[in-house]
Structure 1
């Protein structure tokens, strides 16, 4: 059996588990293993992305959900950075905006700004950044997402997040003339 087939089979099992809902004990164990792996990698690597690498920015105020998104995006070519608020994300983007390929943000965030406002700011200031917005509830009628932003309802499937990360990795930023 080829590795691709094994990966697809595992992804299919994972997606069905997420759709059915993981038992709390299993979900906690998966998070602990993922956290331990990230910590082990962080000890051996500099936290800063390598020059020229692309970044996936996760903006989520719930620790467990943020860690799950980080774990999923760690499987991509993107360097994963996370923030707990839109304000933190904008601060990071001011320094690294040109390197951020993907922003994966929840609508409901701690702080004064929500994920829709963040998405609008990013669409205006960094228009080449792929925007993925998620929430357990549908956006309010007045909360129109910017053109090109993708909405993925919670609970999201890892496959859907990985597909958006792949699009962000593939669609390189055009050179500045």
Structure 2
């Protein structure tokens, strides 16, 4: 999908998100994406990496978002065993910075629901589902989470999670081609 169409889609989504009361961090990010998409539509820049099925493939990234340093390190170490590159963040705001810079590379976002900072993992998941729909979303928490709060395309794994469950989601993120934006 051309970037100008993505920008138009984001603009319509942005308007509906504002009606729901979006945190200022997300609203600012959406405004930046809209501006970048409009500029890219005028400039028509060349793609930064090859087709995911071609050679060389685009780098694929797993983003671990967890404010507990020990749990984050455990998840990062586990995901290091996959073919994905791994990057950890201690807050949703830090994750959004990474996504803004490298969103096209992110195959998996593995995030705790409760995070330090102004945004929680559910707000991050909604932003990812809206702005980076190709990324596989996996949310985790030691506390009960109602399904309506979790984006439709997200997977929820309760804590304590089993390593095999996390590895299976990483494998799905790495092996399944990114979905086409419709």
TM-score category by the smaller chain? 0.5 to 0.7
Q: Counterpart of 1:115?
A: 121
1:173 deviates by: 2.0
Distance 2:106 2:133 in 1: 11
Corresponding residue of 1:137: 143
Q: 2:109 aligns with which of 100, 103, 107?
A: 103
| Higher relative contact order structure (alpha carbons within 8 Å, sequence separation ≥ 6) | 1
CA contact 2:134–2:180 (8 Å) conserved in 1: no
State the TM-score, normalizing by the size of structure 1. Answer: 0.68
User: Unaligned regions of 5+ residues in structure 2, if any?
Assistant: 1-55
Determine the structure 2 residue equivalent to 1:93. 99
Once superposed, which parts of structure 1, at least 4 consecutive aligned residues long, lie more than 4 Å away?
none
Gaps of 5+ in 1: 1-49
Shift of residue 146, structure 1, vs aligned partner: 0.6
With 95-104 and 165-174 compared, the bigger mean Cα shift is at 165-174
- CA distance in 1 between counterparts of 2:148 and 2:117 reads 17
Change (3 A) 1:125 1:159: same
Partner of 2:176: 171
User: Contact conserved, 2:64 with 2:109, CA < 8 A, in 1?
Assistant: yes
1:161 to 151, 160, 166: 166
Counting only pairs closer than 5 Å after superposition, residues 1-177 of structure 1 correspond to structure 2 as 52-139=58-145, 141=146, 144-174=149-179
Measured in 2, the distance between the counterparts of 1:130 and 1:137 equals 21
The TM-score normalised by the length of structure 2 is 0.66
